């Protein structure tokens, strides 16, 4: 074998003869890109004293999370928030009316009340409410462009329920707004019962008859949030046949509520909201 082809065996590899220049000492051809070589992060990097190294810095922005949704399904008294305006409190009684009595009341009110589909006004535009309503009270009631005239001749079944409610709670009411949700497509949008005619810190007692629907609440955001409810507390209350929910304290100042539309089968539901109306001056 000629010297030109001769190789020396070194640790299992082949070393070039002494007259052949090592590859590591060869200059890299100009047309070979840097990424083909080893340790490419060390190749052709400019050596300057102004190089900035990556340093992890803690973000100055607070990592925010929406509070977990709460569900109230058991009987009890719940203080859901405390603000400068006061305490927002719920009282929930899932079985306030006996089921058989509730069945009879539902049928009598479903067929006996003067249900009407009225129109709300929002941003200057009228639209039909996605539910039917009826009003009984000593004074007119106005909200969202809707006016209910005074109606002092209460339906006998409403008088019976009103007497039961006042006897059980010690509260007194002079008016009642009834809502009929014909199926799961009927609903009630986010709002608060904060009309001036209700006075400060109104107490509203809500009795449900018929199919169950979810009553949803959301905490009002502080002014700094500019009306953004993203990180505000939400509460769900399943309102079942014969249940009673009472909202009191600052609930109407600090919370909104709604009955959302549902996309599975729901039969009819009647909601009776008893309240005190003051004459508007």
| Weakest mean pLDDT among 6-15, 108-117, 164-173, 195-204 | 6-15
Rounded percentage of the chain residues whose pLDDT exceeds 70: 78
**At 42, is the pLDDT very low, low, confident or very high (cuts 50, 70, 90)?**
low
Spell out the domains of the chain, with CATH numbers in brackets.
8-39 (no CATH), 71-275 (2.60.120.590)
**At 2, is the pLDDT very low, low, confident or very high (cuts 50, 70, 90)?**
low
The pLDDT assigned to 161 comes to 98
Which one, of 265, 102, 66, 240, lies nearest residue 185 by Cα? 265
Give dist(CA 242, CA 36) in Å, integer.
Answer: 78
Q: Once rounded to an integer, what is the mean pLDDT over residues 154-178?
A: 97
Higher pLDDT pick, 52 / 25: 52
In degrees and rounded to multiples of 5, residue 223 shows phi and psi of: -55, -30
Rounded percentage of the chain residues whose pLDDT exceeds 90: 66
The per-residue b/e assignment along 12-42, b for 16 or more CB within 10 angstroms, e otherwise, is eeeeeeeeeeeeeeeeeeeeeeeeeeeeeee
The continuous run of DSSP H or E covering 156 comes out as helix 156-169
């Amino acid at each position: 074998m000629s010297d030109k082809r001769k190789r020396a065996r070194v640790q299992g590899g082949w070393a070039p003869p002494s007259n052949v220049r090592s590859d590591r000492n060869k200059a890299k051809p100009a047309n070979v890109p840097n990424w083909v070589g080893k340790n490419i992060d060390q190749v052709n990097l400019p050596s300057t004293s102004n190089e900035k190294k990556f340093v992890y810095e803690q973000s100055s922005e607070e990592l925010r999370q929406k509070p977990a949704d709460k569900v109230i399904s058991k009987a009890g008294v719940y203080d859901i928030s405390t603000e400068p305006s006061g305490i927002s409190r719920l009282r929930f009684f899932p079985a306030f009316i006996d089921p058989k009595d509730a069945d009879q009341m539902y049928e009598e009110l479903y067929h006996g009340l003067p249900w009407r589909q009225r129109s709300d006004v929002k941003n200057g535009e009228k639209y039909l409410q996605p539910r039917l309503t009826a009003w009984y009270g000593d004074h007119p009631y106005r909200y969202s462009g809707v006016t209910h005239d005074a109606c002092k001749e209460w339906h006998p079944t409403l008088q019976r329920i009103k007497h039961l409610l006042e006897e059980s709670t010690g509260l007194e009411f002079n008016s009642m707004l009834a809502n009929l949700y014909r199926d799961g497509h009927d609903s009630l949008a986010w709002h608060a019962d904060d009309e001036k005619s209700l006075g400060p810190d109104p107490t509203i007692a809500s009795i449900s008859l018929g199919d169950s629907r979810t009553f949803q609440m959301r905490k009002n955001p502080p002014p700094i949030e500019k009306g953004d409810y993203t990180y505000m507390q939400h509460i769900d209350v399943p309102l079942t046949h014969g249940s009673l929910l009472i909202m009191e304290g600052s609930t109407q100042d600090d919370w909104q509520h709604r009955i959302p539309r549902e996309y599975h089968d729901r039969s009819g539901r009647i909601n009776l909201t008893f309240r005190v109306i003051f004459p508007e001056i």
